[in-house]
Amino acid sequence: MIVVKDEVGVLKWTFLATFFFQLSCALTAVRPTQLMSDTVAAVRAAQEVQADVLSVDLFRQAQEWLNRAKQEYKFKNFDLAIRYAQKAKRYAENAEYEAIRAGGVRGGEVGTEAEHAPGSVKEPALLNP
């Protein structure tokens, strides 16, 4: 046990204890990796429904906010990265919604139901009968 006999010693120990406590809090900041991943997925989903063509302004905003979030994440400004990633995700989801309303379809949904109906499979042509 540390026994401090003078007031200056008490101040030194108080300062050191406070300093190490704040340092430990700074080193254990939670990185918003899940949010960043979700935001990238939202931008990709918007791009998949041609939001970059059908909802240009919203998609561009989503990309810009995502780039800002990545930049802040790189500099370990996690509060700003979270705020920017949330904005980017919101813009991407809105761009995706507007693109779908404007007629955008996902990559796997192209074509009509008649093309995929049973019995509508075209037989491949034989090269050498």
38 burial (CB, 10 Å; 0-12 / 13-18 / 19+) is middle
Question: Given this model, what pLDDT does residue 68 score?
Answer: 98
What number is the average pLDDT over the span 35-47?
Answer: 97
Q: What are phi and psi of 73, to 5 degrees?
A: -65, -40
CA triple 115-51-71, angle to 5 deg: 135
Handedness of CA 9, 12, 15, 19 (dihedral sign): negative
Question: Given this model, what pLDDT does residue 108 score?
Answer: 56
- pLDDT confidence band for 102 (50 / 70 / 90): very high
What number is the average pLDDT over the span 99-111?
Answer: 77
Q: pTM higher than 0.85 for the full model? A: no
| 50: its two tokens | 């041609």
In terms of DSSP H, where are the helices of the chain? 7-27, 33-48, 51-54, 56-74, 78-101
| 98: its two tokens | 């507007």
Question: Given this model, what pLDDT does residue 20 score?
Answer: 76
Cα separation values, 82 from 60, 73, 128, Å: 19, 8, 63
pLDDT tens-place string over residues 67-86:
999 999 999 999 999 999 99
Q: Mean of the per-residue pLDDT values for the chain?
A: 82
pLDDT tens-place string over residues 18-35:
877 776 665 667 899 999
